[in-house]
Amino acid sequence: MIRLVREPIDVAGIRRSLAREEDGAVVIFEGVVRNHSHGKRVCSLEYSAYEAMALSELEQADTEARRQFDIRDIAIVHRLGRLYPGECSVAVVVASAHRAAAFNACRFAIDTIKNKVPIWKKEFFEDGEAWVESSD
């Protein structure tokens, strides 16, 4: 399942709908909005995307994760719009029979999002704002 959403991500709901009795592992990665960046207090983040291409790149990441790793299912949901510290910006949920494949596929998916999927964040500080133009 691939989604770009503007409402809070229901990670528990994604996990519930994904997991099956044949799974021996469910690995969940949540990206969370941090309240600081390079020593400055972050009040909020604004995520924007080239949505058509972001969905296509996420579909490719999904396909590639299934091809490279022995997983049963994967879900990737990225939130767009204004987010505040502590909120979940992205969730990757992977289910597999064994843990290694789930960990590896989850890591692959979030790294691909960070490197290739056309989504950007702007940081809002107490005294200004700035685009973030590298992943960390």
Site map 69..108 versus other proteins, x via CB under 8 A: ---------x----------xx------------------
Contact predicate 27/103, CB 8 Å: yes
Select 58 or 95, whichever has its Cβ closest to other proteins. Answer: 58
Indicate whether 114 belongs to the interface with other proteins (CB under 8 A): yes
Residues 41-60, interacting with other proteins (CB under 8 A): 47-50, 52-54, 56
Q: Does residue 122 belong to the site contacting other proteins (CB under 8 A)?
A: yes
Beta pairing, strands 73-79 & 2-5: parallel
Looking at residue 118, its amino acid is P
2 SS3 class: strand
The rounded radius of gyration (Å) of the Cα atoms in the chain is 15
Question: Is the Cβ of residue 102 or residue 113 nearer to other proteins in the bound state?
Answer: 113
Of 15 and 114, the one with the shorter C-beta distance to other proteins is 114
Q: What angle do CA 6, 7, 13 make, to 5 degrees?
A: 125
118 binds other proteins (CB under 8 A): yes
CA distance 113 to 107: 10
Its sign, for the CA torsion 5, 95, 121, 125, is: positive
Nearer to other proteins, 16 or 120 (CB): 120
Q: Does 28 bind other proteins (CB under 8 A)?
A: no
Contact residues: other proteins, CB under 8 A: 31, 47-50, 52-54, 56, 78, 89-90, 110, 113-122, 131-135
